[in-house]
Chains A and B, each alone.
Chain A
Amino acid sequence: MGDYILLIVSCIFVNNILLMQYLGNCPFLGVSKRMETATGMAMAVIFVLVMAGAITWIVNTLLLRPFGLEYLRTLAFILVIASLVQLVEMFLRKSIPALYAGLGIFLPLITTNCAVMGVCLINIKEEYGFVQALIASFSYAVGFGLALILFAGVRERILLARVPKPLQDTSIGLVTAGMISLAFFAFKGMV
């Protein structure tokens, strides 16, 4: 049990996927201008990442490894993720329209979110078991959401500040992200 708590803390804070492992930065800068879009993206990532983490683990363990096809991992994983995103989108549109309206445009974007692919690859690289992989995927996704929402909050404030012209938009966004990342640095060495 203690191991699992340690894993959760390490995935959310210490090895935060956005700020420490530099994965998923394109949506991080792209959708963080408004709080609502940031929340939508965070929810969509949590949803897809848990499923992708579980399915890619199964694919890798039951399909690729026994047949010695590990060199096809990249191809297999990206296909799993792409079709999963499509499937989730179709399923939500039919059965939970409210959720679909909320996540809507963010779902297709997740296919090229490297956080999803990255976590699937980390799960394999760290040789996690199934339950561990599931917990790690969920915690990484929560960490992603946490960082994204924090960042969106700061960014909404920056809109009110007077920023020098060359620093505007992405530039100040990156510097801000650096500061938030510095704050997350305090967690280093905790686990």
Chain B
Amino acid sequence: MAKTVVQEFTKGLWAEIPPFRLVLGLCPTLAVTKGVENGIGMGIATTFVLVCSNILISMLRNIIPKRVRIACYIVVIATFVTVVELVMQAFAYPLFLKLGIFIPLIVVNCIVLGRAEAFAAKNGVLASFADGLGIGVGFTLSLTALSIVREVLGNGTFYDIPVFGPSFEPFSFMIQAPGAFVCLGLMLCVMNMLGKK
């Protein structure tokens, strides 16, 4: 039992790491990775929602009628997103402003609903917790990696600290919309190269 819980956790870190292996939740990935701070903040917020909704849905999985399950999941998820929204507004207001509409949009992040439907609805509480945490941490890692590349190249800074000398000309394409798509596409390509031996 203990081993399977560990497995559920670790699969989210490589084998099913979103958004590379599970191509879900692209919108926040592309939108918030302009800076490392935003990427990590978004990752943590999503992880919290993912873990809580997975636990609750797995607890309620025998009570929720099959036919209205999607609506029930959405209500559960929306509740936790509201919690995150209010907590961030109170304790991390600058980040809340930076992430803007992407916090309420965690509701429609397909990763959260996807895990609820594909995993939490069929498995026990502990396994669902491990699954949510694993996928959440994997998502945070991906966002962080992508935002490091984009912030360092596009802005010449890391966590708002300049990393190159003053003569560095920022590659501003990277922090604009086209750069987001191209950068994610190329990272996916690298992942595929590493994954397929």
Contacts and interface: CB of A to CB of B under 8 A. Distances in A.
Interface residues of B, number: 42
A6 B55 CA distance: 47
Interface stretch (A15-23, A99-107, A152-160): A15-23
B173 to A, nearest CB: 8
Contacts, number: 127
B120 interface: no
B78 A74 contact: yes
A125 to B, nearest CB: 6
A75 B74 CA distance: 9
Given A72-B82, A121-B104, A178-B182, A114 B27 contact: yes
Nearest to A188: B176
A68 to B, nearest CB: 14
Given A21-B31, A111-B74, A185 B177 contact: yes
Interface stretch (B2-10, B38-46, B106-114, B136-144): B106-114
Interface in A117-172: 117-118, 121-122, 125, 165-168, 170-172
A125 B101 contact: yes
B163 interface: no
B50 interface: no
A113 B33 CA distance: 20
A19 B177 contact: yes
A56 B109 CA distance: 19
Interface centre among A73, A114, A125, A181 (most CB of B within 10 A): A114
A53 interface: no
B30 A25 contact: yes
Contact of A175 (B100, B181, B193): B181
A26 B25 contact: yes
Contact of B192 (A19, A71, A116, A171): A171
B60 interface: no
Contacts of A121: 101, 104-105
Interface string A61-90: 000000000011111011100110000000
Interface string B158-181: 000000000000000000111111
B79 A75 contact: yes
Nearest to B193: A166
Contacts of B59: none
Interface string B86-124: 100000000000001100110111100100000000000
B82 A74 contact: yes
9 closest residue pairs by CB, A with B: A174-B185, A178-B181, A178-B182, A166-B192, A175-B185, A22-B31, A25-B26, A182-B178, A181-B178
27 contacts: A23-B27, A23-B31, A71-B86, A74-B85, A74-B107, A75-B79, A78-B74, A111-B108, A112-B110, A114-B27, A114-B105, A114-B108, A117-B104, A118-B101, A125-B101, A165-B192, A165-B196, A166-B196, A171-B188, A171-B189, A174-B184, A174-B185, A178-B179, A179-B182, A181-B178, A182-B178, A185-B178
Given A78-B74, A78-B78, 5 more contacts: A22-B26, A26-B110, A116-B108, A178-B181, A181-B178
Interface of A: 19-26, 28-29, 71-75, 77-79, 82-83, 111-114, 116-118, 121-122, 125, 165-168, 170-179, 181-182, 185
